[in-house]
Amino acid sequence: MAELGTASIILALALAVYAAAGSLAGVWWRAPGLAISARRATYLVALVLGVATAALVVAFLRNEFGIQYVAENSNLAMPRIYTWVAFYAGNEGSLLYVAMALSVVSALTVWLLPRRLGALRPYTNIVLMLVVTFYLVVLMVLANPFRELAVVPVDGRGINPLLTHPGMFFHPPMLMLGLIATTVPFALATAGLLARKVDDDWVDWGRTWGIVAWALLGTGLLLGAWWAYTILGWGGYWAWDPVENAALMPFLGLTAFIHSIMVQKRRGMFRMWNIALINVTFGLANFGVFINRGGPVPSVHSFGASTLGWVFLAFLAVTVVGSFALFYYRLGILRSAQRLESALSREAAFLVNNLLLLGIAFVTMWGVVFPLLSEAVSGHTVTVAEPFYNQVNGPLMLALIALMGIGPLLPWRHATWTTLRRTMIVPFPVAAVLVAALAIGGVHKPVALLGFGVSGLVAASVLQEWVRGTHARHRASGAAYPVAFLQLIGANRPRYGGYVVHLAVVMLAFGIIGSSFYSLERDVILPVGQRAAIGEYEVEFVRTDTERFADRTERTATLRIYRDGQPLDTMTAWQAVYPSFRMISTRAAIRMTPVEDLYVLFSEVQPDGRSAAFRLLVNPLMLWMWLSGPVLLLGTVVALWPSRQRALAYAPALIAEPRVRP
């Protein structure tokens, strides 16, 4: 498999170089045959890298420990189901995954690009294939996953125990795919600049791929939070770790981009903003790759043994300088025909939205690079911890959520205070009632009340839009309310899909506010049969069980839970010791309800063998955070679902006589 894998990577590299060069030559020499040939080479890159991927997977399945990467990331005892995880567990394998994913995404982009964007196709292909070429060169020269060992070991080292978790089947590939998918809108935007075609035709396609990348990144981040919550053993889900931040920043950039591009679609404005945004986002994605692979900032996530940081830093520098040089060179043709007419308009709301998102990204970036800067300047490393991020980003995020409640209610171009008052007449009182009810119910922390209040504002705004729109449809068409609701969503899927995503953000905010401000925590040592109290619960230590395997020793602690003196549940906390990794892996016992989680972490058995240490936590509203993921995906699917050609059928009636509001 080593020979097949290496040969495939070499062939893929040759095809990628040809695809980029052939596209360029096809444009310069006006040779359509050459451009078509280059396009086909793009499709072949995906096929050939698929073969390389299959070769590595088969090598794992056949325990080919003569391949260094297989020996370092698996062993005879590893359950076959973890082969997929082992494939991208290490630096080399994950780079192969990234190259393969990018090649597939590139092939899809070039293949699906509509005819009306034909002028952009060769330039898009050039940009995509240049990025693919970079990754393939790194694979070939610096990080070949098929490198062979001089002496074949009898057994491998095994997979990192932290990766033997269900979340690991999805979190890393989705995160990496989301990061690499930012290449597509970047390529489309750059192609427009290269081809001097910066009218608004590329907007739909750029938005679609932007949303796809955004959804992948967002889901990947949420899965990572879930993984951290269940396996890292500190009861939290986000630590502002440099690698977490490095994925968050391009997510924020993409969020700004997919909103801002709607302004270009509807009003032909923000052309410069959108190009700059996607350039920044692509740069942040590359910064994330740099941090993750041998970057100078340590993290639980990074491939610590990688020395490739300088390569990705150089690539980052080239792409940032090159993209902004091209942006500056084409500035003259980017000016929008329309201007911002009013500060009280949806366009203005999107502009403020952009500024808040970029502000959060900048603060996060500052926190990541500040230790490096402090060391470079003063010789001392000043660590930036969670309080900095919470104190600075917290208010910005609150403002962003508040804007989510107001912005969608503003019309395009300009609004009057009269219409604004009329649209806010329900959401604001609803939010105020929610805050009052929570305050009466015992929620007294001002920041938490404010957070719940703005989240309530968003939810009330979305529900108001749905109710009004459904009622209007019902009166206009006579359809039953459920049918009218579905018709409403079908008539404007981007808008209403976006509202579903906004509700997902509200759910996420509820979980973050509840767990950040009202968590309880207690460390206890319990003898068998004894109980400890936390919140409304009592936790009784029942027993431990030990089971030995070839590569690990597993211990489970059984606990009985009581509330108001009555037995409620039985929970099992788990830990395993991996001697070869000198590591202990834990799984918390979690009892999840819509109101709160009871979280029990098994720490260690005491020397007397009859008592054990536990960390007990009560985390309010966590379930809403995890449920926000499927809701976010649902909203994304609704927003991206293709519409039938309604506009043409609808339009003649609109042109003849505008309809009067019932």
Binding site for other proteins (CB under 8 A): 1, 3-4, 7-8, 11, 15, 18, 31-34, 36-37, 40-41, 43-44, 48, 51, 115-116, 118, 200-201, 266, 409-413, 415-416, 418-419, 422-423, 465, 468-469, 472, 476, 491-492, 495, 646-648, 650-651, 654-655, 658-661
Residue carrying structure tokens 């917290």 = 394
13, 15, 17, 18 alpha-carbon torsion, rounded to 10°: 160
How far apart, in whole angstroms, are the C-alpha atoms of residue 45 and residue 104?
8
Distance (Å, rounded) from C-alpha 27 to C-alpha 14?
20
Of the candidates 91, 87, 93, the one whose C-alpha atom is nearest the C-alpha of residue 304 is 91
Closest CA to 256 of 284, 223, 237: 284
Nearest residue to 597 (alpha-carbon basis) of 577, 627, 576, 638: 627
CB 602 within 8 A of CB 545: no
Q: Report the nearest approach of other proteins to the CB of residue 386 (Å).
A: 40
Closest to other proteins by CB, 34 or 162 = 34
Distance CA 228, CA 223 (A): 9
**Cβ 651 to other proteins shortest distance, Å:** 4
Shortest distance, CB of residue 483 to other proteins, whole angstroms?
A: 17
Task: Output the smallest distance, CB 433 to other proteins, in A.
Answer: 21
Q: Which residues contact 318 (CB under 8 A, 6 or more apart)?
A: none
Residue 116: CB minimum distance to other proteins, A: 5
Measured from the CB atom, the residue of 468 and 610 that comes closer to other proteins is 468
Nearest to other proteins of 32, 322 (CB atom)? 32
Closest distance to other proteins from the beta carbon of 468 (Å)? 5
CB of 434 to other proteins, least distance (A): 23
DSSP class per residue in 555-579: EEEEEEEEETTEEEEEEEEEEEEEG
Contacts of 387 (CB under 8 A, 6+ apart): none
3-state secondary structure of 44: helix
Nearest distance in Å: CB 564, other proteins: 48
CA nearest neighbour of 182 among 250, 129, 233:
250
Q: How far is the CB of 481 from other proteins (least distance, A)?
A: 15
What number of other Cβ atoms are within 10 A of residue 648's Cβ?
8
Q: 1 or 639: whose CB is closer to other proteins? A: 1
Lookup: tokens for 21:
């060069």
Question: What is the residue-wise DSSP string for 256-320?
Answer: HHHHHHHHHHHHS--HHHHHHHHHHHHHHHHHHHHHHTT-SS--SSS-TT---HHHHHHHHHHHH
For the bound state, the minimum distance from the C-beta of residue 108 to other proteins, rounded and expressed in Å, comes to 17
- Taking the C-alpha atoms of residue 524 and residue 534, their distance in angstroms, rounded to an integer, is 10
**Spatial CB neighbours of 143, under 8 Å, sequence gap ≥ 6:** 91, 92, 95, 306, 308
Q: Which is nearer to other proteins, 548 or 661 (CB)?
A: 661
8 Å CB contact between 621 and 515: yes
CB of residue 604 vs other proteins: minimum separation in angstroms?
Answer: 50
Q: Which is nearer to other proteins, 118 or 395 (CB)?
A: 118
Treating both helix axes as pointing N-terminal to C-terminal, what angle do 309-329 and 271-292 enclose, rounded to 10 degrees? 170
Q: How many helices (H) and strands (E) does the chain have?
A: 21, 9
Q: Based on CB atoms, which residue is closest to other proteins, 50 or 359?
A: 50
The structure tokens listed for 28 are 């310069």
Contact yes or no for 400/353 (Cβ under 8 A): yes
* DSSP classification of residue 619: E
Q: Compare residues 138 and 415 and give the one whose CB is closer to other proteins.
A: 415
Residue 502 or 587 with smaller CB distance to other proteins: 502
Nearer to other proteins, 216 or 409 (CB): 409
Nearer to other proteins by Cβ, of 32 and 527: the residue is: 32
